């Protein structure tokens, strides 16, 4: 069965510092992987996706993620965090019936 684990419930980083959000997945075949961001009271916005090919994928807002099959991971990174990046981040796996992790809440300190 497919599943996603986001080990960090809450992360706090200083503005300008680098960021890495962890995601581990369980999936029987080649996974379709996604990262979404959700601001308070809002829907989900797609940051980036991985289907196949280059294992380092670039997304919007300066985010990137690296697919590592050997570690069943798809971690999200950003070299320099902005205050506007404070939000909830969700990793998801699947095709039609996506499975989401529980989310990681990002707080950005000034």
Partner 1 sequence: ETGVTQSPTHLIKTRGQQVTLRCSSQSGHNTVSWYQQALGQGPQFIFQYYREEENGRGNFPPRFSGLQFPNYSSELNVNALELDDSALYLCASSLLASGKYEQYFGPGTRLTVT
User: Which pair of tokens denotes residue 93?
Assistant: 């796996």
What are residue 10's DSSP bridge partners? 105
User: Which pair of tokens denotes residue 2?
Assistant: 């497919």
- Per CB under 8 A, does 95 bind partner 1? yes
Among residues 90, 107, 108, 109, the one that binds partner 1 under rule CB under 8 A = 90
Q: Can you tell me whether residue 14 is helix, strand or coil?
A: strand
Rounded Cα distance between 98 and 91, Å, is: 10
Shortest distance (Å) from residue 83 CB to partner 1: 22
Among residues 27, 32, 75, 86, the one that binds partner 1 under rule CB under 8 A = 32
Contacting residues toward partner 1, per CB under 8 A: 4, 32, 34, 36, 41-46, 49, 51, 90, 92, 94-103
């Amino acid at each position: 069965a497919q599943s996603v684990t986001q080990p960090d419930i809450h992360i706090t980083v200083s503005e300008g510092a680098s960021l890495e959000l962890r995601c581990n997945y369980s999936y029987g075949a080649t996974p379709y992987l996604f990262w979404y961001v959700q601001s308070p009271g809002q829907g989900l916005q797609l940051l980036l996706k991985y289907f196949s090919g280059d294992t380092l994928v670039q997304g919007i807002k300066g985010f990137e993620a690296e697919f590592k099959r050997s570690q069943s991971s798809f971690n999200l990174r950003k070299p320099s965090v902005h205050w506007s990046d404070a939000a909830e981040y969700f990793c998801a796996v699947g095709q039609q019936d996506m499975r989401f992790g529980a989310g990681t809440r990002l707080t950005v300190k000034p």
